[in-house]
Structure 1
Amino acid sequence: MKKPSRIVNFLYRLVGMSYVHESVSEVREALAEHSVGTVAERWARIHAQGAEKLQHPLDFQPGLIDLHDEMHDMWRYLVALRNQASRGMSAHLADELEEAADFMGEVLHHVGLAAEATIPDASLDRGPGSTWINIPAPPAL
């Protein structure tokens, strides 16, 4: 079956339908298309330009906290998918999702540690408080 256009795919999703790939090679092609194509390159440039504006460890903090929140949501999604797959659907799929959730948990932990490392001297942490800093606006899309 020929892959539908993005517009057709969008319309089908509105009525609860999705296109699925029928072979491992098609899945691999779709994964590569979404991680190597021109859109991925554009996002890589946008992220690099934004990162170049970070001049002080505290500048990293808001983005790392947002990233931690987004990744925590992804971890929850992986756990929910794993739970569903483990209900007799596919042991192999459940195992892969379990491993993905475990790795996401590790990454989540390290992003949290990186956010904490934005504090110049954590040993002098005096408890709750907040400071406003000037964060450069992200580049336009």
Structure 2
Amino acid sequence: MFKFVYSKSWISKVFLALLAFSFIFGTAIMWGPGGLNFGFGNYVIKVEDITVTPKEFILELSRLQRIYGEKIPRDRLKTEALNNLLITAIFAYLAEKNGFYVSADEVKDFIIRQFSDENGNFNEKKFKRYLYYLRLTPKEFEQIVKTTLLANKYKSAV
């Protein structure tokens, strides 16, 4: 069956080289410079100055998976995650365009409320553990909170 291939060893070498190259090239495209970007680059969605990063997309997808589990197919969850993030980005953009803003104090107050213990004191350990779990820096988390608060302000006003 393979007599032709064995008799022409250069054909098998070329075939194996092409096969190896395709795996190496494919891996470099998926996992290469820029890390795990899923082909999105630096952002998944951009509405003027409001951007949604691949990390935010993964977080939203994870949130939806925790809510729905296996009840909804993964492709549908991805679409739902993108829709949620797009709506938030549009509302945040419209809020900025119409003069709404979120101050650093508002972001800080929100974070303190979310990570307070039963006595109302900020639990820094709990906050850092949450950031570690989500693989976010404090600055990234603050930006997500700011965008969400901005979108919520606009939704409440309209």
Q: TM-score, normalised by structure 1?
A: 0.26
Considering only CA atoms, is the larger Rg found in Structure 1 or Structure 2?
2
Q: TM-score, normalised by structure 2?
A: 0.24
